[in-house]
Amino acid sequence: MDTIKVYAQQNEVFTNIIPPGYELYSVFFANDDSSSVTINMGTTDGGTQLVNGETIAASGGEINYVLNRVFSRYASQTLYLQSSSWNSVKLEVIFKLQKK
């Protein structure tokens, strides 16, 4: 299983983060900041196909989404992470991928 670890402090576009023929097994979010953050993640700008209005609690909040999703065997997939209230939060995001 492959792991991609990134950090987000604002709305992010993860361009071509899922390679062709890979399954997005899971996405893990961790927040060590003193503020909470509510996020959406999707396959389109403003999309909520993967995560819809999930609040990551302050001071050690963690959420793991097991998705088991293949987007395409032939094209990379871009994902969008968005929030209207980042509040200076630095969110750790870990993608777990596996070749299908």
Domains annotated for the chain, with CATH where assigned, are: 2-99 (2.60.120.340)
pTM: 0.95
Query: Looking at residues 60-80, what average pLDDT do you find?
Result: 97
pLDDT reported for residue 7: 97
Evaluate whether 86 touches 9 at the Cβ level (below 8 Å): yes
Nearest to 41 by CA among 3, 87, 6, 73: 6
Mean pLDDT of the chain: 97
- Alpha-carbon torsion 90, 34, 81, 4, what sign? positive
Angle at 80 between CA 46 and CA 85, to 5 degrees: 65
Residue appearing with tokens 């509040």: 87
Evaluate whether 75 touches 33 at the Cβ level (below 8 Å): no
Residue 68, beta-bridge partner list: none
